[in-house]
Structure 1
């Protein structure tokens, strides 16, 4: 019927929508399967109005994963038609809510549907949704599941490719900066594919932030060199980088925790003494990292903690010496 573009496709679609309007309809699964096939026809998709989109959206509330997976197919079909931004805007909140499902397979299919959305949406018509998506993706970057983690990074990379420097305003700029250390540290991700996705995403981040010197470093250097260069060029953002690093102390991957501990130690040494709250929080977190199950990380945390303590004592002694010197000079005069 779809291939032949039968004239009665649209009337049948209207009948199916009327059927699905009844939430207690027992054969809704069959109706949805039939409806999905009809929606592949552009002439049928053209008659999907707000009312029809809302009826489909209501079915996302059902607790049947199989039904929700069919609805995710509907969303992908809408995106591929390319002219259904209005209908998609009504369904997007339901799709995002599926990211929090307890069904891991449904979450994966939701991310795959989101990737399709991001590939086909334009920034002009979907900037609000795409910005919201950057916040929704954040927890998935530390997922144990490699496929979920990889898919999340792929979506973020595709999304960033749609962003130009002139649209990078709050809160999007805030979130792009907030995910910077995450991207750098996942260059040592145990999944090589994740690391390969993070590299070009980092370079594009540098482009939209106007960091031309760092872009070359992001493209060619290792994690340690990148972190040093980042801290050197963007020293004003050191407290921000510290908070991001401390969040990654809880990463399930030892290599990422190790890099996070090392970077935190480097940052603390650059912070002025008046940033007491940031420093105290970091010291407390480092103290806890001495109990990390990975011996290399616990050892690094201990070494970092003692190095920082020794530095603090040296600064205190130097400060005392200066005060004594001033006092002696005053007495002499």
Structure 2
């Protein structure tokens, strides 16, 4: 009723805001929470100044209830812009009237309001310092609120160029955030790289490259695609004198990118292919680049295993998590790769082959018949008596049954 007739119902805004504040953390059912969020957005759209003023007056430093209300208001760009504009107005009014506590020490909202409006003068430097401190050890909600406000601001070159100082905290927060918040962080980092000078973009690339890799295997396909695309941008942004520092990270990314060539989400597979071409170019591996450009998937696997025998054991270890992947295609790819890698191990002892087969045996109970078949055939080939097989025969057999 309040949403349908706000003029009649939403009269005492401060009292309504305080009531929501007292109860927001106790409303957990999805339908009730959607209704409450709609009410908060309605209030923010109808009376943004009163909502902002009330929350600023009563918000302690780390209050999750108030943070949840700000986060809801920030879920819609236009609402967020209006609320932050009114927040800034309230703060400037307090300052003119000489009221104490112009910007509360641990309250990120006033600092976000300052940054969201680049015409405020030198105050944004103080805002950056406070946000930098808050981002060193942020809780999830604070991190999400900050990113919700900064992401639209980062699309403006003037604001984006101020944000590199905040990136260490934003990158650190990637390890604890929800998938949707991680996506905001990656988009923000990409925006900043687009708007700063090439030398600074190269430095940012070094900061973020290693933290992007784990996101390739996130459950959210949108986050996977976004992380791979940013990784591609990172490799292209690095200047020649930084390339040596990034080389090991790029090498670590080769196998995950190879596996995601088989990803069932076509946009992820496409992004992986493009990033693999860039990685091959970065590492000056012309043959790998050609194999990627011509999409010769299993020749890529052979190339990786032959190119550096010393990395075969690392590749084996790196491939193990893909045996448990939710996608059938990636489990199949992992079985295929491990079967081929077994033939390139320096250690060809019976014990080593037994160890590799023991890794594959649980896949013989997989719910997908194709995975069971691949695992069974691979184990059969690998456990053939050594004297009956030549290495080349075994590889041909593996390539035949696993292709």
The two structures share one fold, judged by TM-score above 0.5? yes
Match for residue 148 of structure 1 among 223, 226, 238: 223
1:56 aligned onto 2:131: yes
**Unmatched tracts of structure 1, length 5 or more:** 1-8, 317-333
Matches of 2:138 and 2:215, distance apart in 1: 24
Give the drift of 1:301.
1.4
Matches of 2:251 and 2:349, distance apart in 1: 20
Aligned CA RMSD, in angstroms, stands at: 3.7
**Unmatched tracts of structure 2, length 5 or more:** 1-88, 391-403
Residue of structure 2 in register with 1:206 after alignment: 280
Residue of structure 2 in register with 1:324 after alignment: none
Matches of 2:346 and 2:111, distance apart in 1: 61
TM-score of the two chains, using structure 2 as the length reference: 0.62
Classify 1:119/1:147 alpha carbon distance in 2 versus 1 (closer, same or farther; 3 Å): same
Match for residue 209 of structure 2 among 109, 134, 138: 134
1:1-333 matches, cutoff 5 A: 12=92, 19-23=102-106, 29=109, 31=110, 34-39=113-118, 41=119, 44=121, 48-49=124-125, 51-60=126-135, 63=139, 65=141, 68-74=144-150, 77=153, 80-81=156-157, 88-101=163-176, 103-122=178-197, 124-125=199-200, 127=202, 129-164=204-239, 166-170=241-245, 172-273=246-347, 282-312=356-386, 314=388
Matches of 1:233 and 1:102, distance apart in 2: 37
Classify 1:235/1:165 alpha carbon distance in 2 versus 1 (closer, same or farther; 3 Å): farther
Contact 1:149 1:194 in 2 (8 A): yes
Classify 1:225/1:67 alpha carbon distance in 2 versus 1 (closer, same or farther; 3 Å): closer
Give the drift of 1:121.
4.4
Classify 1:67/1:257 alpha carbon distance in 2 versus 1 (closer, same or farther; 3 Å): closer
Classify 1:181/1:13 alpha carbon distance in 2 versus 1 (closer, same or farther; 3 Å): farther
User: In the TM superposition, what whole-angstrom CA distance separates every residue of 1:56-97 from its partner, at most 9, and x where no partner exists?
Assistant: 234445657377434553366368436976x53431232123
TM-score of the two chains, using structure 1 as the length reference: 0.74
Aligned residues: 298
Matches of 1:110 and 1:75, distance apart in 2: 8
